[in-house]
Amino acid sequence: MMGLPIVIIITMFPSIMFPSPTRLINNRLISIQQWLVQLTSKQMLSIHNQKGQTWALMLMSLILFIGSTNLLGLLPHSFTPTTQLSLNLGMAIPLWAGTVITGFRHKTKASLAHFLPQGTPLPLIPMLIIIETISLFIQPMALAVRLTANITAGHLLIHLIGGATLALMNISTITAMVTFTILVLLTILEFAVALIQAYVFTLLVSLYLHDNT
Amino acid sequence: MASVVCVFRSSFSVPLKEKKLLDVKLGELPSWILMRDFTPKGIAGAFQRGYYRYYNKYVNVKKGGVAGISMVLAAYVVFNYFRCYKELKHERLRKYH
């Protein structure tokens, strides 16, 4: 009963970490965030044309949301909204559908032409169109499931190895030290994974966008 | 939390509604609490004032450090601990649970 409202507050919590700039020269927190956002947006939007660059706000807020949510999930006892498939599907399906529909509206022939790669032998064409359609419809599912599975698997590994370290401490301290080293390395990996997953999600959305603008 | 504080305290006193909490006498406390603004707009205003009070003191300074956000993250960890306490109770090291 109390679960749903608290989850909503926890999902909105990362937004507090990003204050909006009010002046020309801001405090250190905002300056660091501004620098990172400019760095990422320049790199991510360099491949798009004029039309694709209208998606800049969407892509940057996406990468900030996923990155901050994943990183906050590494704190002890915290709840990570991106482990829930429902949230990831809710992010992936509308974004993917937006790119596909943009493509169909503005460049109908080119979008349909994506279904058939160049230079295929004539007998293979029907099968290849079916395969391309399936691969198109799998894109949002893959986006959502990739993010869910990676973050969930990372959290699960941390829980299990941490529990193993605690259990082994009474039995054999040396094995516990080894397990603890594994835990430290895993946590470093999880920090990287948190950021990388955000990046991958956003990059793929931007690629789908590039194909369709 | 209007901060209208009279300059001439000796000549006339501030009305109860506009006193700050530390100026309210103990006997006046229940009536002070009842006079507070509990509408959604009032509660939102209270959250906004609290947020800006913390932000301007610890983050929005010329040479802010890591303390500003780490206090927020520590409070977040404690909040989540309270949230999970029911399940964590069973994982304590006790002979009889």
- Do residue B64 and residue A17 have CB atoms under 8 angstroms apart? no
The residue of chain A with its CA nearest to that of B76 is: A78
Q: Are A212 and A102 in contact (CB under 8 A)?
A: yes
Query: CA A64 to CA B4: how far, in whole Å?
Result: 41
Inter-chain residue contact A6 with B55, CB threshold 8 Å = no
Report yes or no on A119 lying in a domain.
yes
pLDDT beyond 70 at B34: yes
The number of beta carbons lying within 10 Å of the beta carbon of residue A66 is 26
CB contact under 8 A, A75 and B80: yes
Structural domain contains residue A73: yes
* Chain centre distance of CA B31: 19
The whole-angstrom distance between A201's CA and the closest CA on chain B is: 25
- Is the torsion defined by CA of B61, B48, A84, B78 positive or negative? positive
A145 within domain boundaries: yes
Helix, strand, or coil here: B67? helix
Residue A119 sits in which domain range?
6-212
Q: Which residue has the higher pLDDT, B17 or A137?
A: A137
Among B59, B62, B80, whose Cβ lies nearest the Cβ of A78? Answer: B80
CA distance A83 to A98: 23
What is the distance between the alpha carbons of residues B1 and B37, in angstroms, rounded to a whole number?
9
Please indicate if any CB of chain A lies within 8 Å of the CB of B71. no
Q: Element (H or E) spanning B54, and its range?
A: helix B40-54
Structural domain includes residue A1: no
For A3-41, the pLDDT digits (tens) are 678 889 999 999 989 998 988 988 889 999 999 999 988
pLDDT at B12: 63
Could you report the predicted ipTM of this complex, rounded to two decimals?
0.84
What is the number of domains present in chain A? 1
* Proportion of chain B above pLDDT 90, given as a percent: 14
For an interface test with A, the pick among B56, B59, B88, B93 (most A C-beta atoms closer than 10 Å) comes out as B59
Count the helix, strand and coil residues of chain B and give each as a percent rounded to the nearest 5: 65, 0, 35
SS3 B34: helix
Residues of B in contact with A79 (CB under 8 A): 80, 83
Please, which residues have CB within 8 angstroms of residue A68's CB and are 6 or more apart in sequence? A14, A17, A18
Q: How high does pLDDT run on average in chain A?
A: 86
Best interface-test mutation with B: which of A77, A160, A170 has the largest number of B CBs within 10 A? A77
Quote the DSSP letter at residue B27.
G
Q: Give Rg (Cα) of chain A.
A: 21
Q: Contact B77/A6, CB-based, under 8 Å? A: no
Secondary structure of chain A in the HEC alphabet? CCHHHHHHHHHHHHHHHCCCCCCCCCCHHHHHHHHHHHHHHHHHHCCCCCCHHHHHHHHHHHHHHHHHHHHHCCCCCCCCHHHCHHHHHHHHHHHHHHHHHHHHHHCHHHHHHCCCCCCCCHHHHHHHHHHHHHHHHHHHHHHHHHHHHHHHHHHHHHHHHHHHHHHHHCCCHHHHHHHHHHHHHHHHHHHHHHHHHHHHHHHHHHHHHHHHC
The answer to whether B68 contacts chain A (CB < 8 Å) is: yes
Which residue in the set B55, B63, B83 is minimally distant from A6, CB to CB?
B83
CB A132 within 8 A of CB A115: yes
pTM (2 d.p.): 0.83
Shortest CA distance to A74 belongs to which of A208, A195, A172? Answer: A195
Instruction: Give the residue, B10 or A23, on which the prediction is more confident.
Output: A23
